[in-house]
Amino acid sequence: MRKYDYRKIESKWQEEWERNGTTGAEDDSSRRKFYVLNMFPYPSGAGLHVGHVESYAGADIIVRKRRMEGWNVLFPMGWDAFGLPAENYAIKSGVHPAESTAANIDNFRRQMKSLGFAYDWPRETNTSDPAYYRWTQWLFLLFYKNGLAYRDKAPVNWCDSCQTVLANEQVEGGACERCKNEVVQKDLEQWFLRITEFSDRLLDGLDGIDWPEKIKAMQRNWIGRSEGVEIVFRSERVRKSESEKDFSISVFTTRVDTLFGVSCVVLAPEHPLVKEIVTDEHRATVGEYVKQAQGKSELERTGTELDKTGVPTGATVKHPFTGEDIPVWIADYVLATYGTGAVMCVPAHDERDYGFAEKYGLEVKEVVVSDGESGKLEAGSGKIVGGGEGEKGRRGEMGQAFIEKGRLVDSGEFSGLTSEEAIDKMVEALASKKLGEKKVNYHLRDWLISRQRYWGPPIPIIYCDKCGEVPVPEKDLPVLLPDDVDFNPTGESPLTASKTFHDVKCPKCGGDARRESDTMDTFVDSSWYFLRYCSPHDGEHAFSSHDVARWCPVDLYIGGAEHAVLHLLYSRFFTMVLYDAGLIPFEEPFLKLINQGMVLGEGGEKMSKSKGNVINPDDVAAEHGADSLRMYEMFMGEFEDAKPWDTQGIVGVDRFLDKVWMTVHDVVHTERPEADDALDRLLHKTVRKVSEDIEAFKFNTAISAMMIFLNEWSKSATGGRETAGTFLKLLAPYAPHIAEELWHELGNEKSIALEEWPKWDEALTKDEVVTLVIQVNGKLRDSLEVAAGEDEERVKEMALANEKVKGYIEGKEVKRIVVIQDKIINIVV
């Protein structure tokens, strides 16, 4: 049985706060601003998840405390409302995505309000609202005008089950991140955003922002900057027939120092030179191999690990230094999309090359870079031999290639140089022959934003037979999504089915034209939503530069880590583009990022429908109240760690809140004296602990401190209205409803959310009497109660006079006494 009716007081105060606009940001530039943002949710049919609650409650606590401290805080919420699930639901049920999305949003909003999150509701934003996506389209045109949006035919990722192309970032291990279906490569004409132009800025910017190292590392890896050398291998071939022309192959390598170990040059099967260079003798086998490689999915090609396949082309190229003939092969372990689509194969110094060379019995050149200890590769076998003991033997066992740097051997004029020196010298030598130069490559690809689906913002482009690609004039925005469409996916956008949409007049020449029928990736919507919140009702601009300059960048961004190389990378890219366009005065959108830890099921496994271990926050709130739910999630463990749900554990928080209720009521109804010295000191300690812990996101230990205080206070006969008021202010960010109710029962009129955050007196957080631990040789033997700040000599005397201590030091020589003031004394004998 609960001690109070949380249902009644929670809904009462939620209505009251909404009526009085208690939680809004103010248009007041005289106070310090603070912009806290939760990643906005996709409003799914399943409603809010306890993981959402974790994230939102953490942000809400920070926000409420900062507001009480006098900051002008912006804390908005909105909906990432476009996306596939709504469309898939429409295919199944016939309900229009706009309709199901609106219903889901209503449910999400109801849930959020029922949990008392202090969002600035008048700023609510919905990406599927024409008033929003009009500006998403406007931003696309801005990119287009600046040469940052382009259409290109390229091999792209296609998901057959979602019936659309995907960005590289949306492919996980060769499968669609959404449906886990295998992704295939297709050559299609698609729209791209030129994110690669920002590779270095996206990389460098990471150094200046306060984000988890993990996310930064993921972005660095994803951008994948790699410095190396592009080497040109020339054919200089002796022509056997007219069809055989001279050619040259560029390869990219980060290890030009191993150039004297090259066994062959390997092209990706898709490399454009393949058809040109293959000799008549090998044309059939090469053609067969290329066909077979293209039939393989990404998953098959990358899944085979070290089992390399390939075929020779019959062609040869000249080694740039020795002039030796180097055979040219094709193999599908070489990626067409990275570097030049061709590599030099150096079996002695690269494990993949080693595997390839071994399989096909290619000539394996001996080690050309050595650490001076390792043995050489045994001619022909490729095994490292003659290593001897220790280091060398170990390396031999692990086999294969020596991939570290060292000193060059058997490398002509470069022999004897270190790898680093050799790289410089070789680049110089290659450059003078025009056979090579330094080159930087990136893993990052341009962002493919076309989607062959309905429920997204239409790409504002018109194709005219006469004028070609024509951007929709700004005055004609938004390009509205039509309603007369067939949702069943056919591989073409459902928008092509709409005649009213598809057939238009060219804005330039007035002739017959057709609209681009693809929509944009929903990640485009979410790349700028944090700007829209600053002036959500602006009908003239995507955002007001004035308001954005006031509120942005976002000071604190809280959300899941799953967006590391998606939303979090794209938003940074958008921000840089808008900065360059002179529209915003900053280059990084989110100064500090915190990832909440995942809330796991009771067994410690991920919550999932199939496991049947999903906890519904509505159920928990109905049974325990919103305050208990919020507070329990904060108490479960460290905010950033994954933690399992424990249905039994929440009663601890119930009991705590009940005890708060009883204790404050006792204060209200009896004439309790104000806190005595001991309780007052504990209160000051608690104020400090809670204040500091909130700033450090250590909500669990802040709650623990409040529990400790309450346990003492409820037992004490002292601690009146003043104590109660201070305590309730500390509690208010965590459990806003009960705090508000009791605050009013104490006789206050104004909302506790508008009160001032309590301060602590540093002197009162220190005890007058401290427990001093006595150790002998580092082992705990006894303790002393002494006045704080007691003199060191005096403490030593007391310790040596201690009866227990005497027993341990009797007959031994005291070598040293270590005294740490007010903490410990260690006697070394």
Partner RNA sequence: GCCCGGGUGGUGGAAUGGUAGACACGAGGGACUUAAAAUCCCUUAGCCGCAAGGCUGUGUGGGUUCGACUCCCACCCUGGGCACCA
Residues 681-700 that bind RNA (CB under 7 A): 698, 700
Reported for 98-106, long-range contacts at CB under 8 A and 24+ positions apart, including other chains, are 98/128, 100/45, 101/43, 101/128, 104/43, 104/44, 104/45, 104/47, 105/43, 105/79, 105/81
Q: How far is the CB of 523 from RNA (least distance, A)?
A: 15
Alpha carbon distance 351, 250 (integer Å): 21
**Residues 741-780: x/- map of binding to RNA (CB under 7 A)?**
------------------------------x-x-x-xxxx
Q: Which is nearer to RNA, 655 or 744 (CB)?
A: 655
Q: Which of 249, 259, 334, 739 binds RNA (CB under 7 A)?
A: 334
Please list every residue from 404 through 463 that binds RNA, using CB under 7 A.
441, 443
**Which position among 44, 196, 226, 496 is part of the footprint of RNA (CB under 7 A)?**
226
Q: 504 vs 561, which CB is nearer to RNA?
A: 561
Binding mask 341-380 for RNA (x = CB under 7 A): x-xx-----x-x----------------------------
Does residue 43 have a cis bond before it (omega within 30 degrees)?
no
Alpha-carbon dihedral of residues 558, 563, 565, 569, nearest 10 degrees?
-50
Residue from 92, 434, 475, 816 in contact with RNA (CB under 7 A)? 816
Instruction: Say how far apart CA 785 and CA 753 lie, in whole Å.
Output: 42
Beta carbon of residue 626, minimum distance to RNA (angstroms, whole number): 18
CA pair distance 158, 181, nearest whole angstrom: 10
> For the purposes of burial, counting CB atoms within 10 Å of the CB of 763, is it exposed (0-12), middle (13-18) or buried (19 or more)?
exposed
Residue 284 binds RNA (CB under 7 A) = no
Check if the beta carbon of residue 401 is closer than 8 Å to that of residue 353.
yes
Alpha-carbon dihedral angle through residues 45, 50, 52, 58, given to the nearest 10 degrees: 160
Q: Does 95 bind RNA (CB under 7 A)?
A: no
Binding residues among 626-655 for RNA as defined by CB under 7 A:
635-638, 641-644, 646, 648-649, 651-653, 655
Which residue number, 74 or 772, has a Cβ lying nearer to RNA? 772
Name which of residues 233 to 252 contact RNA (CB under 7 A).
Answer: 252
Q: Nearer Cβ to RNA, position 787 or 820?
A: 820
**Residue 270 in contact with RNA, rule: CB under 7 A:** no
Residues 6+ apart with CB under 8 A from 492: 452, 517
Residue 704 as a binder of RNA (CB under 7 A): the answer is yes
Q: Which range, of 50-58, 207-215, 539-547, 586-594, touches RNA by CB under 7 A?
A: 207-215
Among positions 671, 715, 747, 756, the unique one binding RNA when judged by CB under 7 A? 715
Smallest distance, Å, CB 261 to RNA?
11
Residue placing its CB nearer to RNA in the complex, 507 or 644: 644
Between residue 155 and residue 174, which ones bind RNA under the rule CB under 7 A? 172-173
Q: Which two tokens stand for residue 391?
A: 């280091």
> Is 201 an interacting residue with respect to RNA (CB under 7 A)?
no
- Residue among 381, 386, 342 at smallest CA distance from 365: 381
Beta strands in 492-532 (DSSP E): 503-505, 512-515, 519-520
Q: 149-159 and 164-166 as β-strands: parallel, antiparallel, unpaired?
A: antiparallel
Report how far residue 451's alpha carbon sits from residue 172's, in angstroms, rounded to the nearest whole number.
Answer: 18
Q: Are 460 and 479 in contact (CB under 8 A)?
A: yes
> From the list 179, 335, 379, 431, which residue makes contact with RNA (rule: CB under 7 A)?
335
Q: How many positions of this chain bind RNA (CB under 7 A)? A: 87
CB 398 within 8 A of CB 392: no
Q: Which amino acid is it at 444?
A: L
Q: What distance in Å separates the CA atoms of residue 73 and residue 54, rounded to the nearest whole number?
A: 20
- Name the residue nearer to RNA (CB basis): 427 or 564: 564
Between residue 548 and residue 607, which ones bind RNA under the rule CB under 7 A?
561, 564-565, 604, 606
Please choose, out of 98-106, 124-132, 328-336, 501-509, the segment that lies near RNA by the rule CB under 7 A.
Answer: 328-336
Q: CB 48 → RNA: shortest distance, Å? A: 21
Site stretch for RNA (CB under 7 A), options 301-309, 526-534, 670-678, 744-752: 301-309
CB-side exposure of 236: number of CA atoms within 13 Å? 11
